[in-house]
Structure 1
Amino acid sequence: MHRCRKRILAYQLAAVLALTPGLPGLASTTSDDVYPQYGDDGNGDDNGWKLPAIVAGAAALLLVGRWMQQRSQASQQDAADDSDMLEQLQKRGPEFPAQYNSSAFAAIGTVRGDWPFVLDFSHDRPVIVTLRISARDVPDIYTVRLPFGADETGRHRVQFRLPPAFGDSERPAAISVTATDMSGERTEPTFRVQALGCGPRAVGSVAIEEVSFLPRRIRAQAQEQASYRFFSHSDFPSAVAEFMRIEEADDGERHFFVNEEPIAGGVTAGRSIDPRLWDGRDERQRISTGTHRLKVRAWAPTGGWVTAWSDSRVNVSL
């Protein structure tokens, strides 16, 4: 398999604590339009956690920033909701919206003070990558901004430890990743996230690697199927493969959830899973035409989580 050149950035990053600035000149939208209830257990209680579910690039920057501010401002209230969310994350793994822009997206995952955090990504043009993490009882948003110039394109891995302010026990946190051009106001469409994770099981090398998703094309009506597999460096009792439909856009690649398949028994350290098949159909057994990317989420009740995306894509036709 072709591999992109990787640069491993071994940072001991200090926290840059700042509230996310607003972006001027962007139209506002109602919260009901862009913050649908997500991760609901069916009883109508979202525990105060909502993910921005919008795929437009510039608007996504505004909405993700606003959401992170709301999470920070909520740190002094509704703390009792966190125990329910923590239980949910330990049971179901990190949460992502069903649709998002890969250059400006948010997630919910567990964090802890001094835990390692890893972000693996690539880009073809100059970019400013901003990672923000917000949790209750942490008064400000932990923010890391990394500019990469014209001579620094390619693939990068950023790894660092969270500050002690995140506490000595696991807690839910809002996590956002944005990638902009050097102005900081427009999303960078060539940005591709490869992996995101937190905790001792997630980091060393990125815990889930070699995510394969082949062949490049399948015809679903002819019963052709795509094959996928991946390698794990850690034991994760729970894992799930998700199939995301991809749309290219001038303001960033759009991801739309199509279907998922739990990995029974989780994954074992030092092993690849046996090849598995996907028939190109969504949750309702309809053929999902277009280009698709594989996303793998793996987690443990304690010890962390990781999400990894395939470089390879599969185009599904009738």
Structure 2
Amino acid sequence: MKAPHDLLLACLLTMLLALSPMAQAQYQDGDYGREPPSEPGGPPSHEPGDGGDGSDWRVPAAVAGVVALTLVGRWLYQRSQAANAPESNDDEVLERMRREGPEFAPRYHGSAFAAIGMVRGDWPFILDFTHDRPILLTLRLSARGVPDIYTLRIPFEEGETGTHRLQFRLPQAFGDREQPAAIGITATDMSGERTASSFRINALGCGPRAVGSVAIEEVAFLPRRIRPQAGEQAFFRFFSHSTFPQAVAEFLRVEPAADGEQYFFVDEELIPGGVAAGRSIDPRRWDGRDLDQRLSPGAHRLQVRAWAPTGGWVTAWSDNRVRVSP
């Protein structure tokens, strides 16, 4: 990644935000692989498990690329429609997120997924990712009191592959206090209909503590292979630019697919006391087993979530992967 290209992206984002700060999602045939609404101008039809009842901010647990695109789009649309509903339980979500941090599904598609994170008007938002083929990247946010789905679409053509870091400020429409927002990220080919199998997210965050480079970096997860039954363990550590009172390391099994990788939650480890600015955590260990102490064979990636009750949050993924063998 070259600095001039990052500056160009920053300028492009600034122009997009200034010219069209709020863009309503359009549900058209072929738009990110989604089906059109069941009625013209109406919401898409409900599918079990996609959070369509509006009762909670559940994240779709997609198992395939096209399904992921469909569920992310529908879920964000439903969040937008329910944003001003009196029965919305955003206050409960707000308190839960202050305690437990940003939320991801226990199973998600690497190129089309949704999460819940705290946002605020004028807060910096950061997204770091890598790809080795042309992609169409789409970022969408839906929050209470914001009737439209805030949308950014940026194509990355031939010659623009590699690692990119997008950083910009959210518009004032997101309000003057922190609130939970649904965040959808999709990376597709240029047609917008197929997930990009080469896309890999490196970091995602929002708030003053999340930026200044990426707040959590140097996420190491080693060695490349362990045999738990032989007593071997994996080691991990990471560096933090900001102070976060709370942090957790999560271990995700990664399964390859023709339309992109799929991630499955396996195990987690709280980081006592959180992380301090300008420091790396001491190396910690993982034994290659899940929460029930069962062996978790296959490739695994480390996901680190760190947050403060106020001031923002960040999630970072390891570039390294550890394969667990019997």
Instruction: Tell me the SS of whatever aligns to 2:137.
Output: strand
Matched to 2:47, the amino acid is S
Q: Which residue pairs with 2:103 in the alignment?
A: 95
| Alignment-mate amino acid for residue 100 of structure 2 | R
Name the count of aligned residue pairs. Answer: 307
Residue by residue over 1:229-263, the C-alpha shift from the partner in whole angstroms, topping out at 9 and shown as x without a partner, is 00000000000000000011111110000000000
8 Å CA contact 1:22–1:62 kept in 2: the answer is no
Is 1:259 equivalent to 2:267 in the alignment? yes
Say whether the 8 Å CA contact 1:202–1:234 is kept in structure 2. Answer: yes
Report what 1:222 is aligned to.
230
Work out the percentage of aligned pairs sharing the same amino acid.
63
Change (3 A) 1:218 1:148: same
Task: Supply the AA of the counterpart residue of 2:136.
Answer: I
The one-letter amino acid paired with 2:95 is E
Tell me the residue number matched to 2:242: 234
SS in 1 for 2:159: helix
Number of the residue aligned with 1:42: none
SS at match of 1:17: coil
Match of 2:39 in 1: none
CA RMSD of aligned residues (A): 2.0
Residue 172 of structure 2 corresponds to which residue in structure 1?
A: 164
1:32 aligns with 2:48: yes
Q: Structure 1's 144 and 237: CA in aligned 2 closer, same or farther, altered over 3 A? A: same
Segment of structure 1 superposing worse, 8-17 or 132-141? 8-17
Checking the alignment, whether the CA contact within 8 Å between 1:20 and 1:68 is kept in structure 2 is no
CA contact (8 A) 1:116 1:199 kept: yes
Deviation at 1:16, TM superposition (A): 4.6
Aligned match of 2:23: 17
Matched residue, 1:75:
83
Deviations 1:115-134 (A, max 9, x none): 00000001010000000000
Whether 2:292 is the aligned partner of 1:284: answer yes
Say if 1:36 and 1:51, in contact at 8 Å, map to a contact too.
Answer: no
Partners of 1:52 and 1:157 in 2: CA distance: 25
State the Cα distance separating 1:31 from its structure 2 match.
3.1
Decide whether aligned partners of structure 1 residues 221 and 162 sit closer, same or farther in structure 2, where only a CA change above 3 A counts: same
* Contact kept in structure 2, 1:115 and 1:161, CA below 8 Å: yes
Secondary structure of 1:234's counterpart equals coil
SS in 2 for 1:307: strand
Q: 2:315 aligns with which of 260, 285, 307?
A: 307
1:196 corresponds to 2:207? no
> Which residue matches 2:192?
184
| Inter-CA distance 93–30: structure 2 relative to 1 (3 Å threshold) | same
Q: 2:322 & 2:102 partners in 1: Cα distance?
A: 24
Cα contact 2:245–2:273 (8 A) shared by 1: yes
- Could you say which residue in structure 2 is the equivalent of 1:43? none
- Give the conservation status (yes or no) of the 8 Å contact 1:117–1:162: yes
**More divergent stretch after superposition (123-132 vs 25-34):** 25-34
1:283, distance to aligned residue in structure 2 (A):
0.4
Amino acid aligned to 1:17? A
Give the gaps of 5 or more residues in structure 2: 36-43
Take 1:199 and 1:26, find their aligned partners in 2: how far apart are those partners?
A: 31
Describe the superposition over 1:130-156 as per-residue Cα deviations: whole angstroms up to 9, x where unpaired. 000000110101101110001100000
1:201 and 1:235 map into 2 onto residues whose CA distance is 7
2:41 equivalent in structure 1: none
Equivalent position amino acid for 1:68 in 2: L
1:58-83 superposed Cα distances (whole Å, 9 cap, x missing partner): 11101100001000000120365111
Q: Which residue of 1 aligns with 2:64?
A: 56
Deviation at 1:22, TM superposition (A): 4.8
Q: In the TM superposition, what is the alpha-carbon distance from 1:223 to its structure 2 partner? A: 1.1
The two structures have a TM-score, normalised by structure 2, of 0.90
1:31 counterpart SS class? coil
Question: Against the structure 1 CA distance between its residues 55 and 152, is the aligned structure 2 distance closer, same or farther, given a 3 Å change threshold?
Answer: same
Distance 1:267 1:241 in 2: 12
**Under a length normalisation based on structure 1, what TM-score does the superposition of the two structures give?**
0.92
